[in-house]
Amino acid sequence: MRVVQIPTLFDNYTYLLICEKTGQTAIVDSPDAEATLAVIRREGVDPVAIFSTHHHMDHVGGNEELIAFKKMPVYGGLNDRQRIPCLTHPVEEGDQISLGSLIFRVMDIPGHTRGHIAYVGEGAVFCGDTLFAGGCGRLFEGSAEQMVFSLGKLKNLPNPTAVYCGHEYTQKNLEFALTLEPDNQSLQTKYAEVVDLRKKSKPTVPTTIGEEKSYNPFLRTESPELITNLKKKIPGLKDDRLSVFVAVRKMKDGF
Ligand code: ZN
Ligand code: FE
């Protein structure tokens, strides 16, 4: 698989997943069809499917125009089937999708929206607005329990799995993370790297599951340093994973 990353809108990412044997290509989350088609032409690849992660317009806004350009199947979560434009293939946990010689598996990851899914395969996960580099999505429709469960599933992927998320939010996310774990060495190192990349206007995505586990506060709800610092801000906070997650999410919403 070759992945081409396309920055769109203000801070969104569209991805082209290309089967190098056949040139067959899936488009993950395109809000801007023009920008996506320009890259498809430049790469000389053959778009054969759209993989939508969730129904928000900054992820599916280009579906109609892409379908007008070329008719192709549109995949998306079963629970989003009313809301994803041009959806033809509602999918859910465990469904498999082949793309040339590549195979992807669908993972249900509700929380940000109730129909959010991830596409997992070829050593990568395309997780939309659920897991971000250094952060996680806001809880627009799902419960904290759902989000914790979904993040737990992503966390269980093999450490080298490349994390391709929907937005370039990493620097701000890590600035928040530093307020909770200022002494976390891998967080400090990652933050320095990210600041440097952003100065050069380079993407900080993808990261890996292994890296995320080392600095992402939403995957570190059992970290003693994080819990200790959180308790300084919120005296009497219970330290079970759910209570810690809820507190961290709430704090990030106001950061
Ligand atoms: Zn979203
Ligand atoms: Fe988004």
Ligand nearest to the CA of 31: 2
Report d(CA 168, CA 74) in Å as an integer: 24
Instruction: Report the candidate in 63, 51, 131, 60 with the shortest Cα–Cα distance to residue 97.
Output: 51
Report d(CA 41, CA 11) in Å as an integer: 22
Kindly report the average pLDDT of the chain as a whole number.
97
User: β-strands 24-28, 46-51: how paired?
Assistant: parallel
Residue 80 pLDDT grade (very low, low, confident, very high; cuts 50, 70, 90): very high
List helix spans (H) across the chain.
Answer: 33-43, 57-60, 63-69, 144-155, 170-180, 185-199, 209-215, 224-233, 241-253
With contact defined as beta carbons under 8 Å apart, do 130 and 116 qualify?
A: yes
Ligand 2 center–CA 69 separation, angstroms? 24
Ligand 2 center–CA 231 separation, angstroms? 31
Question: Per-residue pLDDT averaged across 239-254, rounded?
Answer: 97
With contact defined as beta carbons under 8 Å apart, do 107 and 153 qualify?
A: yes
pLDDT at 65: 98
Structure tokens at 89: 């293939």
User: β-strands 46-51, 117-121: how paired?
Assistant: unpaired
Ligand nearest to the CA of 113: 1
The pLDDT tens digits of the residues spanning 209-229 come to 999 999 999 999 999 999 999
Ligand 1 center–CA 95 separation, angstroms? 22
Report d(CA 155, CA 136) in Å as an integer: 12
Q: What is the pTM of this model?
A: 0.97
Ligand nearest to the CA of 165: 2
Which residues are known catalytic residues? 54, 56, 58-59, 112, 129, 167
Ligand 1 center–CA 53 separation, angstroms? 9
Instruction: Report the candidate in 242, 247, 112 with the shortest Cα–Cα distance to residue 180.
Output: 247
Ligand 1 center–CA 54 separation, angstroms? 7
Residue 113 pLDDT grade (very low, low, confident, very high; cuts 50, 70, 90): very high
The pLDDT tens digits of the residues spanning 116-133 come to 999 999 999 999 999 999
Q: E strand or H helix at 139, and its extent?
A: none
Residue 13 main-chain phi, psi, to 5 deg? -125, 130
- Identity of residue 26: A
β-partners of residue 187 are none
Residue 104 pLDDT grade (very low, low, confident, very high; cuts 50, 70, 90): very high
The pLDDT tens digits of the residues spanning 131-163 come to 999 999 999 999 999 999 999 999 999 999 999
With contact defined as beta carbons under 8 Å apart, do 215 and 190 qualify?
A: yes
Tell me which DSSP letter residue 80 carries.
G
pLDDT at 143: 96
Cis peptide before 158 (omega within 30 of 0): no
Tell me which DSSP letter residue 30 carries.
-
Q: Which residues contact 33 (CB under 8 A, 6 or more apart)?
A: 62, 64, 65, 66, 69
